[in-house]
Amino acid sequence: MNLVETLDKEIIEAMKAHEKDKLVVLRTIKATLKQELIDNKKEINDESLIDVVTKQIKQRNESIKEFAKGNRSDLIEKTESEIKILEEYLPEQLSKEEIDKIIDDIFKEVKPESQSDMGKIMKEATPKFKGKANMQEVSLIIKEKLSNL
């Protein structure tokens, strides 16, 4: 069973179990997937689902920062629980050691000389880390390695 089928099945289960918060998150994913299909004429598959979930998590993390500025701990808790639901649809996240190893391999392949090679490295790194690691963290690690050249 692929992720899209799992999503459909879990929407039905959430409706039956009256899990309103989970249902809202799952329906948001489904609606965003359908919108992607309409806007970009993209096929709905596991990869597009991972893209949507990653964007949704990023948006919620930004919301948490704003809620923290406004001392809204109630909204922070709700948003964090939504993120946990979303993370169920991502592949297993890579460890720091695995990320470092892949970045080292990319460095050997690209042979960067300065900070200006960041784009070349990110071009190689993005497909390898997509959905498997936080790209902001990956970017910071790459910047740090580039500054040590």
* Domain ranges for the chain: 3-87, 96-147
- CATH number for the 96-147 domain, one of 1.10.510.10, 1.20.120.80, 3.40.50.300, 1.10.10.410? 1.10.10.410
The answer to whether residues 52 and 29 touch, using CB atoms and an 8 Å cutoff, is yes
Find the mean pLDDT for residues 84-108. Answer: 89
* pLDDT over threshold 70, residue 1: no
Q: How confident is the model at residue 90 (pLDDT cuts 50, 70, 90)?
A: confident
CB 48 within 8 A of CB 36: yes
pTM: 0.74
Question: Quick check: 54 pLDDT over 90?
Answer: no
Confidence at residue 47, expressed as pLDDT on a 0 to 100 scale:
83
Of 98, 2, 115, nearest to 50 by C-alpha is 2
Domains 3-87 and 96-147 share a fold: no
Higher pLDDT, 29 or 131: 29
3-87: in CATH 3.40.50.970? no
